[in-house]
Structure 1
Amino acid sequence: MGRILALDFGKKRTGIAVTDELQIIASGLTTVNTKELIEFLKNYTLNENVELFLVGEPKQMDYSESESEAIIKPFLKILKKEFPKIPIKRVDERFTSKMAFQVMLNSGLKKEKRKNKALIDEISATIILQSYLYSK
């Protein structure tokens, strides 16, 4: 089995989470500048067996597309082109940022660390990945 890599794609930053090779545990990996994301993924997939990309799918409360989808669709085309052998699945990411902030609160992080948007993005990617694993 290969790893599953989850992406909480954003205009500036993208949070990344990954499973172990048995696809049991979801862990935050990092947050990267979105402009450097494809290069990061190329380097990562050279060293690790990635079986699936999960990309968060932002939706409105009525399940319609959110405005963010407009920046995600072009990225998905590039991702498919650069990694044609790795399938891509979309996962509803509504409320993941709020859930990530709550995780930070519950874990006792100080106010200064809770302002770290990169950490919120990484935790959001982990929540996306964990929700996918639960649904399998």
Structure 2
Amino acid sequence: MGRLLALDYGKRRTGIAVTDELKIIASGLTTMDTPSLLGFLAEYLEKEKVETIVIGLPKQMNNTASESEADIQKFMPKLQAKFPNVPIVRIDERFTSKMAFQSMIDSGLGKKKRQNKALVDEISATLILQNYMAQL
């Protein structure tokens, strides 16, 4: 059995979340500078068995692709080439950033910490992963 890993892919930063080995709990792992992402994932997948990679599918309210989808489409072939044996799935990520920010407020994080965009990306990746797990 392997973990599930989710990416909240962004042009500059990517939030990463993983499950435990039993795939019960999704937790934020880290946020990476996107140019370093493939190297980080290679190291991580060398140490941990990852069953599936879940990548957020950014859409507008009218169901069309958002601007960041073009960047993800350029990244996907590189990811698939690097990890050909790991299935990659996409899941709608609408509202995850807003939900991440609201969860930061609800958990009592101060204004300074809520301005940490890397933390928002990591929480967003966790929400993407939780949404995927709910569909299994």
Asked if TM exceeds 0.5, the reply is yes
Q: Which residue number in structure 2 is paired with residue 36 of structure 1? A: 36
Q: Which residue number in structure 2 is paired with residue 95 of structure 1? A: 95
Structure 1 unaligned spans of 5+ = none
Q: Which residue number in structure 1 is paired with residue 63 of structure 2? A: 63
Separation in 1, partners of 2:116, 2:66: 24
Which amino acid is 1:87 matched to?
P
- What TM-score results when the alignment is normalised by the length of structure 2? 0.99
- What TM-score results when the alignment is normalised by the length of structure 1? 0.99
Question: Which deviations, in whole Å up to 9, do the C-alpha atoms of 1:112-132 show, x marking residues without a partner?
Answer: 000000000000000000011
Question: Which deviations, in whole Å up to 9, do the C-alpha atoms of 1:48-96 show, x marking residues without a partner?
Answer: 0001000000001121111111100010010000000000000100000
Alignment of 1:68-83 (within 5 A): 68-83=68-83
Q: Which residue number in structure 2 is paired with residue 11 of structure 1? A: 11
Look up the SS of the partner of 1:85 in the other structure.
Answer: coil
Structure 2 unaligned spans of 5+ = none
- The ranges of structure 1 where at least 4 consecutive aligned residues each deviate by more than 6 angstroms after the TM superposition are none
RMSD of Structure 2 on Structure 1 (CA): 0.5
Q: Which residue number in structure 2 is paired with residue 86 of structure 1? A: 86
% identical equivalent positions? 62
Question: Which deviations, in whole Å up to 9, do the C-alpha atoms of 1:19-38 show, x marking residues without a partner?
Answer: 01111100000000000000
Which amino acid is 1:33 matched to?
D
